[in-house]
Amino acid sequence: MAKSKEIIKKSEDGTYYFRANLGYNEKGKRIQKYMSGFRTIKEARMALSKIILEGPDNSTENKATMLFENFLEEIFLPWYKVKVKPQTYDYKEKVINKHFTYFNGFSINEIEPVHVQRWQSKLSQTLKPSYVRTTQGLLTMVLERAMILGLTERNPSKIVGNVKNRKAEIDFWTKEEFEKVISCFYLEDYFQHYLYVSLWLLFMTGMRIGEATAVQWEDIDFETGVLRINKTLYYKRVNEYKFVEPKTKSSLRTLALDADTLEILKIWHDVQKSIVKTGFVLSYNGEPTLNHTVRDAIIKYSAIAGVHRIKIHALRHSHASLLIQMGENPLIIKDRLGHEDIQTTLGTYGHLYPNSNFEVASKLKGVIKVKPTMKNLNIAHGNRGDIRFLATC
């Protein structure tokens, strides 16, 4: 499917217009409707939605023949865009453009469960189950919307069901592996110093990459040693980025920084401001850090150190693993990572905790102190219970 375009456009006189595709007639010819003169884009969208749902002659036939790709571009994506955050929409749109072309050419009501199953099987040949599940979840949403709007009578994606969820093994660097990597940076080189600070901060705080790249110097209180995490960075392209709300309410948090990290940040602050003026902590040129810059650093310096390569998010896992190794309480890890509930923390990292079953059994030995009585204290009934038991044998 081609990249979705906004079909409502602005005229030179400041009004809005659109040309809506309403399906196909019995000869396969596209049915279109043109309207103009709308004072606001909101008025144009309302008129567009009404026309698409009613069809050119209010007939169910024209609605039923709407192609899947037309439904995506003209109805679903405009609706979905206002429902989610910009970064979520951009990511999901890419997923749609990449994986939903399988259904191009189908009318919405022609998609059968067998088509979804074949598509699901095709994705599963090369993609991880977790990614397939997420992608099919989006397809289910698309078809559910079509069903709500009366363009189809059922949701074949729901009928088929999703692929089995398999718990993925998390990857991370141990403390020793991180030490090997971080020791490979030459701090007299300005750019390497910047990369050093970037990896150090991610490893020692467990921040998500979007949270880390959004951190400003004003977010750090060097007196109290506290870092405030209250935003994340949405980066679309050069000179087009903005701060947005964190992933969840629990993501709004404060992190107590260790003395080593605070010292590293103080030194970096002095070095950075001698080169460039910026509010971003992780920046070498005044602009925020790009994800691929951190990714490339991991690839290059893990190879130099002879340590296995990990993904950026694995630095967050590495921080959690370090805390578990240090014996920290899961509730502390939950708060530092900004998880919504303890189940998320234990579900992700519970298997990293050592199996202390035998250790507990060892500790239980000798806990209960018993000194048996030397006389029968049950004098009221004697041993009648024992006699009855013997009589039945």
**Chain Cα centroid distance, residue 278:** 28
Residues 185 and 334 in one domain: yes
Residues 94 and 223 in one domain: no
Per-residue pLDDT at 27 exceeds 80: no
Residue 182 contacts residue 195 (beta carbons within 8 Å): no
User: Which tens digit of pLDDT belongs to each residue from 7-18?
Assistant: 788 888 889 888
Tokens of 330: 């899961």
Split at pLDDT 50, 70, 90, the class of 60 is very low
Residues 201 and 130 in one domain: no
Q: What is the CATH number of the domain that holds 333?
A: 1.10.443.10
- Write down the pLDDT at residue 112: 94
Per-residue pLDDT at 116 exceeds 90: yes
- Write down the pLDDT at residue 255: 93
φ, ψ for residue 24 (rounded to 5)? -135, 150
Give the mean pLDDT of 147-168.
Answer: 87
Nearest to 44 by CA among 82, 2, 6, 88: 6
Strand order in the sheet with 8-10: 8-10, 16-24, 30-38
Domain-ending residue, one of 314, 332, 351: 351
Residues 286 and 156 in one domain: no
C-alpha–C-alpha distance, residues 232 and 229, integer Å? 8
Tokens of 183: 């020791």
Three-state secondary-structure class, residue 329:
coil
110 assigned to some structural domain: yes
Nearest to 52 by CA among 144, 125, 151, 132: 151
- Write down the pLDDT at residue 217: 97
391 assigned to some structural domain: no
Split at pLDDT 50, 70, 90, the class of 130 is confident
- What percentage of the chain has pLDDT greater than the value 90? 50
Tokens of 242: 């903005």
313 assigned to some structural domain: yes
369 assigned to some structural domain: no
124 assigned to some structural domain: yes
Phi-psi region of 58 (alpha: psi -120 to 50; beta: other; left: phi over 0): left
- What percentage of the chain has pLDDT greater than the value 70? 85
Residue 193 contacts residue 185 (beta carbons within 8 Å): yes
41 assigned to some structural domain: yes
Domain-ending residue, one of 134, 160, 186: 160
**Among 24-38, 156-170, 239-253, which stretch is predicted with the lowest mean pLDDT?**
24-38
374 assigned to some structural domain: no
Supply the range of the domain harboring residue 41.
Answer: 8-160
Split at pLDDT 50, 70, 90, the class of 23 is low
118 assigned to some structural domain: yes
Three-state secondary-structure class, residue 27:
coil
Residue 135 contacts residue 123 (beta carbons within 8 Å): yes
**Among 14-18, 154-158, 211-215, 259-263, which stretch is predicted with the lowest mean pLDDT?**
14-18
φ, ψ for residue 303 (rounded to 5)? -65, -40
Q: What angle do CA 176, 181, 183 make, to 5 degrees?
A: 95
Per-residue pLDDT at 147 exceeds 70: yes
Domain-ending residue, one of 129, 160, 191: 160
Split at pLDDT 50, 70, 90, the class of 5 is very low
Q: How many domains does the chain have?
A: 2
- Write down the pLDDT at residue 388: 52
Q: Which H or E run contains 227?
A: strand 226-229
C-alpha–C-alpha distance, residues 139 and 41, integer Å? 28
- Write down the pLDDT at residue 351: 67
Give the mean pLDDT of 208-216.
Answer: 94
φ, ψ for residue 381 (rounded to 5)? -115, -5
SS (H, E, C) 309-362: CCCCHHHHHHHHHHHHHCCCCHHHHHHHHCCCCHHHHHHHHHHHCCCCHHHHHH
* Integer angstrom CA distances of residue 48 from 18, 61, 70, 75, 121: 8, 18, 13, 9, 36
Cβ neighbours of residue 98 under 8 Å, at least 6 residues apart?
A: none
Helices 313-325 and 330-337: crossing angle in degrees, nearest 10, is 160
C-alpha–C-alpha distance, residues 49 and 44, integer Å? 9
Give the mean pLDDT of 17-40.
Answer: 72
- Name the maximum alpha-carbon separation found in the chain: 107
Residue 93 contacts residue 4 (beta carbons within 8 Å): yes
Per-residue pLDDT at 384 exceeds 80: no
Residues 141 and 183 in one domain: no
Split at pLDDT 50, 70, 90, the class of 341 is confident
Residues 298 and 327 in one domain: yes
Residues 229 and 342 in one domain: yes
Residues 227 and 109 in one domain: no
Split at pLDDT 50, 70, 90, the class of 3 is very low
Residue 330 contacts residue 345 (beta carbons within 8 Å): yes
SS (H, E, C) 123-189: HHCCCCHHHHHHHHHHHHHHHHHHHHCCCCCCCHHHHHCCCCCCCCCCCCCCHHHHHHHHCCCCCCC
Give the mean pLDDT of 97-124.
Answer: 94
- Write down the pLDDT at residue 52: 66
